[in-house]
Amino acid sequence: MSIIEKQTPWQASWIWGGTEESPRNEWRWFRTSFTCPSDLDALAKAVLWITADSRYELYVNGTRVGRGPVRYYSTDIFYDAHEVGHLLRRGEVNTIAVQVMHYGISNFVYLRGRGGLLAQLDVLSEDREMTLAKTGADWRTSLHAGQDPATSRMSCQLAFSERIDGRKLAEDWTSSQYSDAQWQHAEVIGAAGMEPWVRLHPRDIPYLTEEPVLPTRVISLNRVVPYQLTAFIDAYHMMKTPGEENANHIRFCGAFMTTLRLKEAAEVKLMFHVGGLGIVRLGEQVYTAEDMEGDPPLAGLRAHLPAGEHVLLYTVYGPEHGHSNRIGVDSDKEIEWVSPLEVESGKADGAMSPFVRIGPTYSYTCIDYIVQYDKFAAWEAARDQFADRMFSITTIDELRETGYPIEPVPHLLANSEDAFMPQFAKRETEAYAVPASLQRIAVASSDPAIVPVFNHADTEFMIDFGKEWSGFLAFELEAEAGVTIDWYGIEYRKDTYIQHTFGLDNTLRYVTREGHQRYASPVRRGLRYLIVTVRGAKNPVHIRDVRLIQSNYPAPEIGSFQCSDDRLGRIWDLAKHTTKLCMEDTFVDCPAYEQTFWVGDSRNEALVNYYAFGGTDIVERCLRLVPGSAFQTPLYGDQVPSAWTSVIPNWTFFWIVACREYAEHTGKRDFAAEMLPSILFTLDHYLKLLNSDDLLDMKGWNLLDWAPIDQPDDGIVTHQNVMLKKVLEDAAAIAALAGVPEQGKPYAEIAVKMKSAINEHLWSDERGAYLDCIHPGGRHSTIFSMQTQVMALLADVADEERKALLKAYLTATPEGFVPVGSPFMSFFYYEALMANGSLQWMLDDIRTNYGFMLDNDATTCWEMYGHTTMNRANENDLTRSHCHAWSAAPGYFLGAYVLGVRPAAPGWRKVLIEPQSGDLSWAKGIVPLPQDGSIEVAWKAVNGAITELTVTAPELTELDIRVPAACAVKIQRVKLL
């Protein structure tokens, strides 16, 4: 990609509207109109430069041009350059319209700045340069008329779910014909270069794709009746220390309270989806966790209550990271909830919800690499004391006597029109056969799909898109006014079981206006299935179109792999599709739950990408973002740019590995030179944490695998020590690539000392293996894991005798050793297997573990293997995320070792062709090169020996072909432009 950088100074000013600098979940429209010169050269280059905080959608004369910006640190924001000359109307009035979505909260993909828009339209031709439009006081602005800001967070990683009232939405607001005379003038808030956006950078990655994907079928149809009352409460916001601006998780002691009002005696059911739920008081009865019913993470209870008003109070403690509390209440009689303050005063406040907050009585922000044991102990004591006091509370007066803070919860933070809780808080569900008229939703036909209507119930149906996708939901329909339609994306179902996206509010609630209407969501979401619930319709809704606008890094599918085992070919396709969906403006861990750039994950994802797509600028962008987190910690963040200050040391170490691999892959020595200071900066800070034995001894999130290995958050963790030893050597290699080998020499010398220390202190002669860790105080772990042995092999810390033992363990795990627990860890396991020449063992492992995914209808690779119960809410779920690119190892290893195509010199100037057959009889495929062209390989084998090999390669690429002497080799050359 060629970076389009603004050469002329910015004349535009930053603008905003309204009364708040950084309002919560505010969508705002901006417009300006101008006359385009009639004599403007048809070939003149018209560029609209634009950026915004937090995200924008740009329209010119009613045509959507693009969206952005790419994720950024607040101080270093990126701007886009859209060429719009083909959209300008010479001699006529033209309109630029921009929708800006400001988050107003920090999360894992955004650090809170303030609301703002900066845009400028320049025309560049041979004879003149002119600015046709620029943001300033002449622009007009309005709140998005139909967007409700009182929605829950999608997840702790992301911003907000979506609620749109189509009755208030002007579809033509982007056109020149629309009148914005009633809009307010925008406020100029500063010039380009103002805080917080002190540095403006040109976009460093291509624009993402936008490809419409249609459904394949309607799976099910149900008549449903939801609970009478549902709500979310943003406990994180309410319990966090005022003034803190981050996305760190918190521990606290607090409670929420409402009053349930019954006109007559009834059975009442409660359902909670609350992290850190303590006791629940309902009327005169107190319930603990042991009294709750339901499958985790849901908890429920039921009680018979007399007519009247009844306290509903529950305590909550965290740890809380930004997910919303969810509550559902149902009854066989009419029931309502009202604020206890309203009950007390007899006056309602329309800006307030039915809930009050109690506390927090104690709250602190958790930072994983800082010792906070005293705060944790204080929190435990405060929690126990708070629970004792809350146990007997029955009225608001009794609450006041405790002296604890009591505050009403605003409607903005506790909306009782929740769209997520009703997806599983249902009183009734009755299945029906899907009529042919509804199946029309899955075909490109002019005939609409007809949604049937049920008396006194809602209509729910499930759409299958055939595969997992990631992008933006759009639909077109006809309806009467005031019908509520909930759109809810999920990833997995089996028979009648639905894996709800607990921890992710993947909903869009849309309220219809009368007649024909279209809506295209600007909120990215990942899903395979879409559950649609039509609520309150008296007449059938006609749906003319539903589609997902698939959006990802523009990665041509150059790479390919096929072989005599179709199952392996299908698994390679899983890995490719997974990686594609997890390539946005950075690599992301998953397109649904998080959409977060996890630094360690991206090292493995980069390698898969090299073999499937050949993308390089996305890798370089990711690697360059990491040092930007130094203002939070010199150890660098494990996800960036993010407001969660968290350190996984291995993730920083994997970043250093990825920097070396990228510099070697592309042959970019200048990249190595640019990154070297940042690499040495963080290594210097890690080296300060070495103890007197030359071992890394630190507090942190000391993670490697989702498995029961001994990796405490404090102490000497073996897998981290061996990785630090390795990346010290990698830093020396990067220094050599950069042409300054002397800068790397001290780090290589420390690596030698660490190797000696690891073998002296972390090896167990009794078990013939490296122990997992030494706990604070000196206690040696009694747990031994394959994870630790694999990393020791890859880091080359063992002498030959110990190395022989570890290699044997790769195919014969000793009894009692913790096995590999995730596809992420399998990547490193496969690296060790291939270094040991164990291709067949790797193929069989892929067939077993990834074959299980295929057998369970997977279209992308799962975050976890189905045989482990870690990191999922319910045992039926098999995994949490069903699309997670840290799991896409086959996309790399089948190309690198079965096809046998690997680089043999920086920039792939020389390529090794060393295919391995295992039990396969043939294989063929394509591996992209980092610059231009690709390597095509096809081979055949008999009884495990390769007999025929055909290689097609660019004419200047040197080939090192290694096959049996009896193999017939054919080499074909292609020219480069």
Taking only the tens place, the pLDDT of each residue in 808-837 is: 999 999 999 999 989 999 999 999 999 999
Q: Tell me, what's the pLDDT at 2?
A: 64
Q: Tell me, what's the pLDDT at 348?
A: 79
Q: Which of the four pLDDT bands, split at 50, 70 and 90, describes residue 942?
A: very high
Mean local confidence (pLDDT), 366-384: 94
The CA distance from 890 to 328, in Å, is 43
Residue 608 burial (CB < 10 Å; 0-12/13-18/19+)?
Answer: buried
Q: Tell me, what's the pLDDT at 871?
A: 56
Residue 973 makes CB contacts below 8 A (sequence gap 6+) with: 952, 953, 954, 955
Contact 607, 890 (CB under 8 A): no
Q: Tell me, what's the pLDDT at 873?
A: 58
Tokens for 340? Answer: 């206890």
Contact 134, 117 (CB under 8 A): no
| Higher per-residue pLDDT: 88 or 7 | 88
Q: Tell me, what's the pLDDT at 927?
A: 98
What digits encode the pLDDT tens for the residues 434-491? 999 999 999 988 899 999 999 999 999 999 999 999 999 999 999 999 999 999 999 9
Mean local confidence (pLDDT), 86-106: 97
**Strand 63-68 with 116-124, pairing:** unpaired
Would you say residue 67 has pLDDT above 80? Answer: yes
Residue with tokens 């005696």: 265
The CA distance from 658 to 624, in Å, is 11
Neighbour tally for 375: CB within 10 Å:
16
Q: Which of the four pLDDT bands, split at 50, 70 and 90, describes residue 870?
A: low
Question: Hey, which of 37-46, 873-882, 922-931 has the most confident mean pLDDT?
Answer: 922-931
Q: Verify cis geometry, omega within 30 degrees of 0, for the bond prior to 69.
A: yes
Helix (H) or strand (E) holding 664: helix 649-666
Q: Tell me, what's the pLDDT at 288?
A: 93
The CA distance from 548 to 628, in Å, is 33
Q: Which of the four pLDDT bands, split at 50, 70 and 90, describes residue 866?
A: confident
List phi, psi (to 5°) of 235: -65, -35
Compute and round to an integer the Cα radius of gyration of the chain.
30
Neighbour tally for 634: CB within 10 Å:
15
Please say whether the dihedral angle defined by the alpha carbons of residues 168, 169, 174 and 177, taken in this order, is positive or negative.
Answer: negative
Mean local confidence (pLDDT), 844-861: 97
Would you say residue 578 has pLDDT above 90? Answer: yes
The CA distance from 169 to 146, in Å, is 5
Would you say residue 700 has pLDDT above 90? Answer: yes
The CA distance from 907 to 601, in Å, is 23
Helix (H) or strand (E) holding 603: helix 599-612
User: DSSP for 294-305?
Assistant: SSTT-EEEEEEE
User: DSSP for 886-921?
Assistant: GG-THHHHIIIIIS-EEESSGGGSEEEE----TT-S
Q: What is the mean pLDDT of the chain?
A: 96
The CA distance from 895 to 561, in Å, is 7
The CA distance from 256 to 357, in Å, is 5
What digits encode the pLDDT tens for the residues 794-804? 999 999 999 99
Would you say residue 872 has pLDDT above 70? Answer: no
Pick the closest to residue 107 from 275, 233, 242, 246 (CA basis): 246
Q: Where are the beta strands (DSSP E) in 180-227?
A: 184-185, 187-191, 199-202, 211-213, 217-226
Q: What percentage of the chain reaches a pLDDT higher than 90? A: 91
Contact 623, 672 (CB under 8 A): no
Tokens for 480? Answer: 């009467």
Q: Which of the four pLDDT bands, split at 50, 70 and 90, describes residue 1?
A: low
Pick the closest to residue 550 from 883, 152, 155 (CA basis): 883
Q: Tell me, what's the pLDDT at 954?
A: 97
One-letter amino acid for residue 73 of the chain: Y
Would you say residue 888 has pLDDT above 80? Answer: yes
Would you say residue 363 has pLDDT above 80? Answer: yes
Q: For residue 616, what are the CA distances in angstroms to 361, 651, 814, 929, 930?
A: 51, 20, 40, 10, 7
Q: Tell me, what's the pLDDT at 584?
A: 98
Mean local confidence (pLDDT), 53-81: 98
Tokens for 924? Answer: 């063929």
Q: Tell me, what's the pLDDT at 345?
A: 77
The CA distance from 664 to 930, in Å, is 10
Mean local confidence (pLDDT), 590-601: 98
Mean local confidence (pLDDT), 175-191: 97
- HEC profile for 350-373? CCEEEEEEEEEEEEEECCCCCCCH
Neighbour tally for 86: CB within 10 Å:
9
Would you say residue 283 has pLDDT above 70? Answer: yes
Q: Tell me, what's the pLDDT at 323?
A: 87
Pick the closest to residue 591 from 625, 552, 634 (CA basis): 552
Mean local confidence (pLDDT), 102-112: 97
Letter string b/e over residues 675-706, b meaning 16 or more CB atoms within 10 A of that residue's CB: bbebbbebbeebbebbeebbbbbbbbebbbbb
